[in-house]
Structure 1
Amino acid sequence: MNKSSKVMSVLIPSFRHFALILGSLWLAASPTAASDSLATLDWTLAETLVALGESPDGVAQVGDYHSWVGEPRLPSRVTDIGLRTQPNVELLARMAPEHILLTPMFAHLTPRLSRIGTVDSMALYTPGDDTWEQILGLTRELGELNGDRESAEALISSTEARMAELAAQLPATVPPLLIVQFMDERHVRVFGENGLFQAVMDRLGLENAWQGETNSWGFSLVALEALLELEARLVVVEPYPAGVEAKLAESALWQHHPSVRDDSLITLPPTWSFGALPSAQRFAELLVNALVRPMLGNL
């Protein structure tokens, strides 16, 4: 073998090895590489994944997510995969996620979506079960799916520690609260047992004025008149439906509510009422800040 042949015999394996390394790096970075890719139709799963540092590659109705959930924001790289009830199957097929995450609400889509990737259904707000424990279980389940139990436990620990800190900031006496969200100018969701907001209020040591029945999502749909019967400070969670604020400004019934009359009404930015730990902490932060702010103003 001549000298040039010997050189080539040494270099060719090196080139092959280098090419294999480059190929592996490309696959790891490629958005169509399904090794770790996730898509979800559910905003609760999406917000939890973001909080765990494992943002999904695709989420349904990204714009509406930001309107209703508020924070945590989805990274700009996240692809909008269409409606939650009617995802863009062709787009999902091109993305080829390894896992498509659903909740039972979207279970009817499983046969179609299972042709694209593994469909994982994760339940939350199951009637009869403790809401907070369900949220912790969901967090751990997502951590298990990502192979990152430590992040799940860290998120749980930090959230519970923050809840304790916020509870300590509250004044000694807080009147009963009524947490509502407008459906139209005459009807609201009022939140109570089985829901996220109640679970947060329990941790903060706050009293909920609504002791009526609620559905499995933790709310009742009631007419505006029902709010006048309860002695409580009113808390409205945005967003308002289009045009409702203007109609309420002209509503004698709304203006007659004690919290509106005495200017004690609390309005909170959008917070996902059907969320998990990220929404729980966001709601707690916003509510405590609103309750403490008048006290700080008197210092």
Structure 2
Amino acid sequence: MIGTTLLSLATIFPAQAADSRIVTLDWTVAETLLALDVVPQGVAQIDAYRDWVGTPALPPSVMDLGLRAQPNLELLASLDPAHILITPLFAALESRLSRIAPVTTLGIYASGDDPWSGMLAATRELGELVDRPEAAERLIKTTNAHLAKAKRHLPENLPPLLLVQFMDARHVRVFGDRSLYQGVLAHLGLDNAWKRPTNAYGFSLVGLEALANLDAHLVVVEPLPVGVETQLNENGLWQNLSAVREQRVSTLPPVWSFGGLPSARRFATLLVEALTRTERAADA
């Protein structure tokens, strides 16, 4: 493990944060608010946030607003928020939400810009909105330092990586250009084996057969859908992938693939730790 040599998560994510009359339907906004030392009043689908994002953790005081696409508007209004923050994914809700409080849309992946640049711009914009511009700059600075330090702990001569997340036992999202994961790989100086076009969120949805001829170290990002692990044990296509046969597979705990700088730092930490463990096991 390299947790003692990289910037600790306790340093990255403050233990105490100031309350704010801000609510958000979006998990990327929520994790960034917490990293800026601001606790939102409410966030949508908190249980799913814990499954898919995890860190930074939402304090017990945060209200669950219901489904991200269908929030409980009565509950939201009862909180009397000063501001509602969304992303373009929830643009259809803006007219209804604006009857409750002013709405601001923060975009990262849906814009035409490089997602990493969009992430930095959104972090700064959010810092201005919550009157914490210094905290936003500090988050950017410490993220860059964290990635630089993580890079120094990587094993040498690593093969290209193939980053996947299972949708079911036969289909995966493969992350490439425009993804959060690719942004981290670029900062770590690692190669991505997936060179095919990706969508606005940086992934391609493909069948397992699309991975068959790729020579790479396979990185599986959890969570796995229910039953998939058992099905993969009986799936000949999966078992015959060269990376699986040669035990070049690393599994990472959940990292929000559409996240902001907190998710980027978490992904870098977990990836470097996993690749280091694999290298040590190969040398043993």
* Fold shared, TM-score > 0.5 on shorter chain: yes
1:234-253 matches, within 5 Å, as 234-253=218-237
Partner in structure 2 of residue 90 of structure 1: 74
Aligned partner of 2:250 among 248, 266, 276: 266
Residues 294 and 265 from structure 1, CA distance in 2 versus in 1: closer, same or farther, beyond 3 angstroms? closer
In structure 2, distance between residues paired with 1:294 and 1:213: 29
Partner in structure 1 of residue 57 of structure 2: 73
Q: How far apart are 1:292 and its partner, in Å?
A: 1.2
3-state DSSP class of the match of 1:173? coil
TM-score (ref. length: structure 2): 0.91
Partner in structure 1 of residue 217 of structure 2: 233
3-state DSSP class of the match of 1:100? strand
Partner in structure 1 of residue 157 of structure 2: 173
Q: Which moved more, 1:117-126 or 1:179-188?
A: 117-126
Letter in 2 for 1:237: V
Contact 2:179 2:258 (8 Å CA) reproduced: yes
Q: How far apart are 1:46 and its partner, in Å?
A: 0.3
Letter in 1 for 2:189: G
Q: Deviations over 1:174-210 (max 9, x none)?
A: 1000000011111100000011000000000000000
Partner in structure 2 of residue 134 of structure 1: 118
Partner in structure 2 of residue 199 of structure 1: 183
Letter in 1 for 2:159: P
Letter in 2 for 1:68: W
In structure 1, distance between residues paired with 2:275 and 2:217: 10
Which protein is bigger by CA-based radius of gyration?
1
Runs of 4+ in 1 over 2 A off after TM superposition: 294-299
Partner in structure 1 of residue 13 of structure 2: none
Partner in structure 1 of residue 3 of structure 2: none
3-state DSSP class of the match of 2:93? helix
1:43-192 matches, within 5 Å, as 43-192=27-176
Q: How far apart are 1:128 and its partner, in Å?
A: 3.5
Q: Which moved more, 1:252-261 or 1:275-284?
A: 252-261
Q: Pick the structure with more helix per residue.
A: 1
3-state DSSP class of the match of 2:166? strand
Contact 2:250 2:278 (8 Å CA) reproduced: no
Partner in structure 2 of residue 11 of structure 1: none
Q: Which runs of 5+ in 1 are unaligned?
A: 1-30
TM-score (ref. length: structure 1): 0.86
Q: Percent identity?
A: 56
Partner in structure 2 of residue 8 of structure 1: none
Q: Which moved more, 1:269-278 or 1:104-113?
A: 104-113
3-state DSSP class of the match of 1:229? coil
In structure 2, distance between residues paired with 1:127 and 1:156: 20
Contact 2:215 2:243 (8 Å CA) reproduced: no
Q: Deviations over 1:155-185 (max 9, x none)?
A: 1000100100000111221100000001111
Residues 60 and 132 from structure 1, CA distance in 2 versus in 1: closer, same or farther, beyond 3 angstroms? same
Q: How far apart are 1:89 and its partner, in Å?
A: 0.5
RMSD: 1.3
Task: Report the count of equivalent residues.
Answer: 265
